[in-house]
Structure 1
């Protein structure tokens, strides 16, 4: 018997369109065939060894034929088919019954075979001598039955190795372990990881991928930390840093690092709709590669990001390579050949609603930063910058870092009025630094100072003559929900109703999502005022002198190709892949309910969605996913749980030691416990899967 277990990650489904539906049909077929093949080879292991041992196999099914719903055909003595319930598969062997309550009944019926040339004498649970058909599963020796039961798991391991071997023969794309941005206040931020820094080792993993980073952090030691070797973007030798992952309640552990992008435009959508990049002249095309900005060569993402930040208020001219070729062994490396074209892109005026949210207290101070040198501490509150605030004025989290960046370019200092404890406000001078790296939007990050501050949903002020002021929003209002209204199908989140708390959405993130928007965009914002809630409709406006650094270019994730140059290299890489998958499953299972929250597991629906997503990234990526799934199946099916293969092995080991099968009552009780556990597990993972489909998990 075979049951699909849970997986520890969830990938988004690809977006559909007219072309997407056609492409999606092929991806669904690839994913279905891949998952079906993993089930097939597991059952093929049981079937082949059973046949080799002389056992009559009555059925060989992929999927369960519940209620008789199936597609099947009988060849010889075996019925082969596909059942309607795609949760696994089974091989039905003569004399094997997974219902232990029928053991004595089966053995009693076999007495009619006594002395027959087609029968064999065996020992029953109570030591009695009974006769069964020679081709029955029960007629085989304990070692033979152990071979039959273990064959499914062994086949999963063998084919997991084969999947990985083929993938590394083709070349498997992997996301690089280079920092694109960090989350303010996170462990990676505290370790001063910056855009362009490369992680070259994680514990014993040399040249890790981003998947290696995720696995090492999620299953890492939260107390002692994870050891990283980091090659800073401006250094020649790596440095060793121990980073302790953080884990919030109900979430997986993380260090707060986002992988960087490569300087190549998305094939399908090179620019976001309604953005300056979408209006570029001449038109951008998918797969264009950025080679210079205003004549300044760039070959790393961090260089490009720094230039966009420095030139946010001015038009830029991109030099793009169109066509050309990358090295055969590294299709993601910079190309040569082709043609170079120049494309002009206008500045991107900031789109705002006029809401200024209250700046929360300092969450963290970056080691060695201007903020630390000036004496700022966690818990401090920034009350004012360079003088007292007027009525209905507040520090705007959306623009504060830009103000500080201007001071950094001038080499001047700023004076903060700082609240600390119950005492009078302090006056602290800080000289900001030039920060040419990216940080995530939430919590509020001030890379120019090295501060992370809490982002709140309380309105501190509204900008003069802004949509928010005209709509009557006042200081003290609390943001509750937002509904994005637009008839433009390209508008992100159009028609969505969002709750700031339950969707873990910050105001800065929502404003950023609305940056490049359709002309008819309207935001229905619900605020709480006292005990009442009020909904107002807001349009965006463009405050003078404010610009977004992002021009709307859609870049591909930075990837590398993992390729085995020789048969020996491919075999070693495949062996490591299946071995890593199996050990990760054991570690994952051991941490469920503790370091791994129960909500972090997923069932068959999510596995199918993951397979669909991986198929969209190419056959090699799908094969590596099937390797991971095969490792899952091998480990989980061999756990000593009654009903699963591992449970059968325990009972067979008991029989081999004792010389006869376990008693009916004991086996029945154990099987009922195992079945109850598996059914409970299936209800849980299906519930989580359905919750994810509707955004509830």
Structure 2
């Protein structure tokens, strides 16, 4: 299956499942309070199939499978008469209306916990959090290649995926946190990562790279692939040569070759040790200088990531508190990100639209069930947080109107509600425009 069609398929699956189940939360809560539901539809647009159930609800399947909707009886003009009047959402107590509006986001929260629980029971393939190389801040603060991260700020990090989120969280906040590591010789020790020392102007998206911690699985083997004609390497190296050291310094990964070349003076003669067909060889050459670039003329043999080397799994019982804890922490991170949208430009650069969602959905699905479940959990949680924002048109906006009604003792005037709806629609359109802009910009990069 091509990347395009795969991305489209998994986008449909993601939105179809999460949005439909979100609406199902509203549906179930409305039915529990005796509120009449006119239609429950999977998909948008013209219905392709309909059936009226014994409960009086019209169930439909529509042609655009990107979610669904529930049509609940309302009486904004106060024109209904009994028995329909008492079945309208408008005439139910405020607490019941609040429960109906909150039921959709609550369903998404429960789904997040469920997806994470299943992921933990199934087992998520991942990488052991071993440091492959250190640069910049990480090197300055004592981290070494071969360190295995054990915990960050007291929280265990059994895999690189578990380490990434706290690094980003504390990096964005510029915190100073303790990091427990097991060194290459097996000694367990504690180091400090002071994120306040990150370079000025580091964006949220660049925080992890700026720390200088390179995961071991990111290290491309120092094996020669391409040899460019007309460069110093042209008559020296061949495809398959493995570089072992430069000027006596061991080379563990391909990026270290460029680091060693750039660090030397322009006229420096490098002594490069390498292995060809099991035979150790040595070459001496100077780099070709072009502006600020130092070129020897080789490229890596492979840029593919190595296979996962561990599986993080828990028993069904142990997975329950772990899933709840991760949901709470991811929820805090999501709320923080939403708050930062209105204060920092780097956070706004992270707003993603359907193109990015489709691409990530496809990548997650290609990594296996556990990774796709984690993606669904993150998306479900994001839907919950976004829908709880106090913005008209969203569930949080309806809850805001109910709170104002409770304080005033009467609903807002129609004109005031109309202004709120207009402002809410404007904000939503702006966020959608920003998401599409970021998507398109990402395609052009």
Partners of 1:629 and 1:170 in 2: CA distance: 19
2:213 is matched with which residue? 257
2:165 is paired with a residue of what secondary structure? helix
2:389 is paired with a residue of what secondary structure? coil
Length, aligned pairs only: 409
Q: Using a 3 Å threshold, how does the CA distance of structure 1 residues 52 and 227 change in structure 2: closer, same or farther?
A: same
2:378 is matched with which residue? 628
Q: Using a 3 Å threshold, how does the CA distance of structure 1 residues 626 and 477 change in structure 2: closer, same or farther?
A: closer
1:228 is paired with a residue of what secondary structure? strand
Give the CA deviation at 1:31: 5.6
More RCO (CA 8 Å, sep 6+): 1
1:574 is matched with which residue? 323
Contiguous gaps of at least 5 residues in structure 1: 1-19, 97-102, 120-132, 263-300, 313-347, 357-401, 409-433, 462-474, 480-505, 517-551
2:145 is paired with a residue of what secondary structure? coil
Partners of 2:190 and 2:229 in 1: CA distance: 44
Partners of 1:507 and 1:149 in 2: CA distance: 61
1:248 is matched with which residue? 202
2:13 is matched with which residue? 33
2:188 is matched with which residue? 237
- 2:159/2:312 contact within 8 Å kept: no
Matching residue within 93, 97, 121 for 1:145: 97
- 1:169/1:570 contact within 8 Å kept: yes
- 1:260/1:558 contact within 8 Å kept: no
Partners of 2:335 and 2:57 in 1: CA distance: 36
Give the CA deviation at 1:250: 7.7
2:178 is matched with which residue? 227
Give the CA deviation at 1:39: 1.2
Give the CA deviation at 1:677: 0.1
2:259 is matched with which residue? 445
Matching residue within 418, 422, 444 for 1:672: 422
TM-score scaled by length of structure 1: 0.52
Give the CA deviation at 1:680: 0.7
Q: Using a 3 Å threshold, how does the CA distance of structure 1 residues 174 and 587 change in structure 2: closer, same or farther?
A: farther
Give the CA deviation at 1:595: 7.7
TM-score scaled by length of structure 2: 0.79
Give the CA deviation at 1:477: 6.2
Partners of 2:311 and 2:190 in 1: CA distance: 25
Give the CA deviation at 1:661: 1.2
Partners of 2:430 and 2:146 in 1: CA distance: 46
Matching residue within 131, 134, 138 for 1:179: 131
Instruction: Write the mapping of 1:591-670 to structure 2, written as runs, cut at 5 A.
Output: 591-592=340-341, 593-594=343-344, 596-670=346-420
- 1:31/1:615 contact within 8 Å kept: no
2:41 is paired with a residue of what secondary structure? strand
- 2:25/2:106 contact within 8 Å kept: yes
Partners of 1:403 and 1:74 in 2: CA distance: 70
Q: Within the alignment, does 1:79 sit opposite 2:79 as a pair?
A: no
Q: Using a 3 Å threshold, how does the CA distance of structure 1 residues 571 and 135 change in structure 2: closer, same or farther?
A: same
* Larger-gyration structure (1/2): 1
2:74 is paired with a residue of what secondary structure? coil
Give the CA deviation at 1:349: 8.1
Instruction: Write the mapping of 1:471-486 to structure 2, written as runs, cut at 5 A.
Output: none
Give the CA deviation at 1:27: 7.9
Q: Give the superposed CA RMSD.
A: 3.7
1:445 is paired with a residue of what secondary structure? helix
Contiguous gaps of at least 5 residues in structure 2: 233-242, 269-287
Matching residue within 116, 130, 145 for 1:195: 145
- 2:7/2:359 contact within 8 Å kept: no
Instruction: Report which of the two has the higher share of helix.
Output: 2
Matching residue within 33, 36, 40 for 1:60: 40
